[in-house]
Amino acid sequence: MSTARRPTEERRQQIAEAALRIISGKGVHRLTAQELGREVGIADGTIFRHFKDKAEIVRAAIAHLEGVLFEQFPPQAEDPLERLRLFFVGRLTLVQRMPSVFLAAFSDRLEEAAGEDAGAVRSIIERSQAFVRQCLTEAQERGQIDRRLSPDALTLMVVGTLQAAAFGHRRGALKSQLDPTTVWQTIEIMLTLGAKK
* Site of interaction with DNA (CB under 7 A): 3-8, 11, 29-34, 37, 42-50, 52-55
Least spacing, CB of residue 76 vs its own copies, in Å: 26
Site for its own copies in 102-161 (CB under 8 A): 103, 106-109, 112, 122, 125-126, 129, 146, 148-150, 152-154, 156-157, 159-161
From DNA, its own copies, none, which one binds at residue 13 (CB under 5 to 8 Å depending on kind)?
A: none
The site partner of 177 among its own copies, DNA, none (C-beta below 5 to 8 Å per kind) is its own copies
CB of 38 to its own copies, least distance (A): 15
Of 41, 29, 33, 144, which Cα lies nearest the Cα of 83? 144
Q: Which residues are CB-neighbours of 18 under 8 A, at least 6 positions away? A: 36, 39, 40
**5 is a contact residue toward its own copies (CB under 8 A):** no
Q: With CB cut-offs between 5 and 8 Å by kind, which of DNA, its own copies, none does residue 53 bind?
A: DNA
Q: Does 43 bind its own copies (CB under 8 A)?
A: no
68 vs 178, which CB is nearer to its own copies?
178
The footprint of its own copies (CB under 8 A) covers: 27-29, 103, 106-109, 112, 122, 125-126, 129, 146, 148-150, 152-154, 156-157, 159-165, 167-168, 170-171, 173-174, 177-178, 182-183, 185-187, 189-191, 193-194
